[in-house]
Amino acid sequence: MKITAIKVKTRYWPPGTDHVHEIVEAVKEILQDGDIVTISEKAISTAMGNLIDESHIKPGWLAKLLVSFWMRRLWGGPFGKLAKLREHTKARLKNYPLNEGAAHKQVALEHVGLLQALRHYSEGGIDASNLPYSYVCLPLEDPKLIADSIHSALEAIGKHLSTIIVDGDTTYSKRNLHMAPRRVPIPGIIHKGGFLTFLLGRKLDFTARSTPLAVSGAVRNPDFLLTLANVSHRARGHGAGRTVWDMARSLGVGLTDVTWEMLRLVDHYPIAILRVEE
């Protein structure tokens, strides 16, 4: 089987963007029958204004403890070693920012719960990369409903296709066992372990692939969906940076000094069209 990926460049989608219109306009001259249109969850959620400014968050004692002990000492130490994290990642975790980090953990505790807040990044789908200042993006509440609306708009232009919303966070697989660290409403992908899923998947060298959050169309097999999500994520790239640290470094500013104007100057590829040949 051969999968061809066509990444589609668009402008940056700030809050208030009609993402369905943007997607249709971006792909309507490229689409063929049978295509699989994949879209970044992050881009959709940002366009919908699903954001929180963490500079206004007052962290509680548990959020502060998660930063000072859990993140700096455990993830920066034994957990990082157990999960086979890279040395520069462990170094960043050992120096995890106290104030900004505590506000971030408070948001995670309030919106995705303790098991997700115990993760060292992408807690329950919360993401700070490719966003300005102290904003973070929350996960979509109903990705299936959104995938269906995008799919309907695309089929209205006369093409028969499938639509998938993709999160770059990894699901871990061993044969027919597929474990996602966050909740994924797709049959065949389990999501009970939170941070433990990440630790086990990394330690046991399970296959790591990007996560399909919702599908609208003919594709149903979870293993195939994971492969498609992974191809999509690799093709689309990371915009201004894979992490908030990478983004700030690439733009030459501090962690909370990125602006909307800077992000608009970066090449963005929130969409990838996949074509499968037997």
On whether the CB atoms of residues 30 and 4 are closer than 8 A, the answer is: no
Half-sphere exposure of 107 (CA within 13 A, CB side): 28
Q: What is the pLDDT of residue 159?
A: 83
Return the structure tokens found at 266. 């970066």
Q: Where in the chain is the domain with CATH 3.30.1330.100?
A: 2-49+143-253+262-277
Q: Which parts of the chain sit beneath pLDDT 70?
A: none
Q: What is the pLDDT of residues 29-68, one digit of tens each?
A: 999 999 999 999 999 999 999 999 999 999 999 999 999 9
Closest residue by Cα to residue 225 from 180, 158, 182, 160: 180
Apex 131 CA angle, 129 and 44, nearest 5 = 90
Per-residue pLDDT, 241: 85
| Helices (runs of H) and strands (runs of E) counted in the chain | 12, 8
Helices 143-155 + 19-27 axis angle, to 10: 40
Query: E strands of the chain, at which residues?
Result: 2-10, 36-40, 51-53, 135-137, 162-174, 177-179, 207-216, 268-277
Which tokens go with 215?
A: 């599908």
Closest by CA to 203, choosing from 111, 82, 106, is: 82
pLDDT tens readout for residues 64-92? 999 999 999 999 999 999 999 999 999 99
Three-class DSSP labels, 219-262? CCCHHHHHHHHHHHHHHHCCCCCCCHHHHHHHHCCCCCCCCHHH
pTM of full prediction above 0.85: yes
103 phi and psi angles, rounded to 5 deg: -60, -40
Domain 2-49+143-253+262-277: top CATH class: alpha beta
Give pLDDT, residue 219: 77
